[in-house]
Structure 1
Amino acid sequence: MAGLIFTQQLARFTAVPQVDTVGPTLRAGLESAFAANPLLRGYVLDEQGHLRENVVVFIDGRRCAERVLLADALAPDSTVYILQALSGG
């Protein structure tokens, strides 16, 4: 199963910092995580269901290709990191 790993900033909103999924795409994998913890959705996706501007996703070391459809393929052994950028001064 692919593993979705939420960095510390997002892990505080989910019961575990990693969610395993059999979803074939990034969107399906994220939906698995949101099913386990619905509050997480609002921190990762905007109102249109697109990745928020301050969220970056890496699949097997490569940044996801696009932020709208989230159709990047997940292999059964993929590692997906979901990061929330921090801002401030």
Structure 2
Amino acid sequence: MPRVEMTSHLYRFFPVLENREILVPEGSVADVVRSVNEITPGFSDYVLNDYGAQRRHVLISINDNLIVDRNALTDRVAEDGTVYIFQALSGG
């Protein structure tokens, strides 16, 4: 099963994820986000906008590659893949 990892500040918003062992069924990135949201409702609000697209200041990668489809999240996550979710830094 694919593994999901994220920046530490996201874990603190969702205490149920504190063990940091998040395994979900393989599928698209959208499927992965949905699966995490089923574990801890409200999670997707932090990473997706109102249209279901990746938020501007959030980055999602599969293994070491940023996803290509930031709108529909159709990039596929393999059985042995790791999805990383983290906030992008911005400002000056």
Confirm or deny a common fold (TM above 0.5). Answer: yes
Partner AA of 1:4 in structure 2: V
Find the counterpart in structure 2 of residue 56 from structure 1. 59
Partner AA of 1:84 in structure 2: Q
Partner AA of 2:4 in structure 1: L
Identity of aligned residues (%): 33
> Partners in 1 of 2:53 and 2:68 — Cα distance?
13
Query: Which is further off, 54-63 or 37-46?
Result: 37-46
Find the counterpart in structure 2 of residue 2 from structure 1. 2
Give CA-to-partner distance per residue, 1:35-72, whole Å, 9 cap, x none: 11112111111111111101001101000012111000
- 1:6 and 1:18 in contact (8 A); partners too: no
Partner AA of 2:9 in structure 1: Q
Q: Normalization by structure 1: what TM-score?
A: 0.89
> Partners in 2 of 1:53 and 1:18 — Cα distance?
26
Secondary structure at 1:66 match in 2: coil
Aligned residues: CA RMSD: 1.5
Following superposition, the deviation at residue 31 of structure 1 comes to 0.3
Q: Normalization by structure 2: what TM-score?
A: 0.86
Following superposition, the deviation at residue 19 of structure 1 comes to 1.8
Partner AA of 1:60 in structure 2: N
Find the counterpart in structure 1 of residue 31 from structure 2. 28
Flag the 1:47–1:18 CA change in 2: closer, same or farther, 3 A. farther
